[in-house]
């Protein structure tokens, strides 16, 4: 009986230590990989996450040999976009998630079309914002840098 208890304790300890050793610090139980692969060394090799895409785009822009004036204009654009997004978040506080769902639920049921229209409008705003930001970046570049950007993007897509 004493041997059985000792073996059970050893088995549970081994199981817990194995689980802890393989756990990802930012997993949070959602089955997703770490956003920063360096933390735990785990990654899904078949997919690229947003951190990889940002790093890739940063490398491409570094190859464009931007002038100091262009770099400061890019930084100003990023700062403006951050402030704009922050203002939009504050404006829309409570309109998203569970708090915003009450607009579509009534005693008669769920307003599916209203929900789809709202989600479509929100998605369209996000797309327009990304396009505007990219357009501002492109307008900062010279004609030669735009050509070089096109070739670098084509090389990355192959």
Residue 110 is inside which H or E element, if any? strand 109-110
Better pLDDT: 129 or 94: 129
Least confident of 13-27, 49-63, 112-126: 13-27
> What are the φ and ψ backbone dihedral angles of 67, each rounded to 5 degrees?
-75, 170
Place of tokens 């570094």: 62
109, β-bridge pairs? 106
2, pLDDT greater than 50: yes
Residue 51: pLDDT band (50, 70, 90) is low
- Each residue's pLDDT tens digit, 117-138: 988 988 998 899 889 988 998 9
Cα dihedral 15, 16, 19, 25, rounded to 10, equals 180
pLDDT at 128: 92
């Amino acid at each position: 009986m004493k041997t059985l208890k000792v073996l059970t304790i050893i088995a549970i300890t081994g199981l817990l230590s194995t689980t802890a050793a393989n756990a990802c610090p930012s997993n949070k139980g959602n089955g997703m990989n770490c956003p920063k692969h360096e933390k735990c060394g785990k990654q899904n090799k078949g997919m690229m996450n947003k951190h990889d895409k940002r790093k890739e785009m940063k490398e491409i822009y570094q190859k464009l040999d931007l002038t100091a004036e262009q770099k400061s204009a890019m930084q100003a654009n990023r700062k403006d976009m951050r402030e704009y997004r922050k203002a939009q978040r504050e404006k829309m506080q409570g309109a998203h998630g569970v708090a915003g769902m009450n607009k579509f639920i009534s005693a008669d049921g769920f307003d599916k079309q209203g929900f789809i229209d709202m989600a479509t409008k929100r998605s369209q705003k996000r797309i327009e914002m990304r396009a505007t930001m990219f357009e501002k970046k492109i307008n900062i570049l010279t004609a030669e840098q735009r050509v070089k950007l096109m070739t670098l993007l084509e090389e990355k897509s192959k």
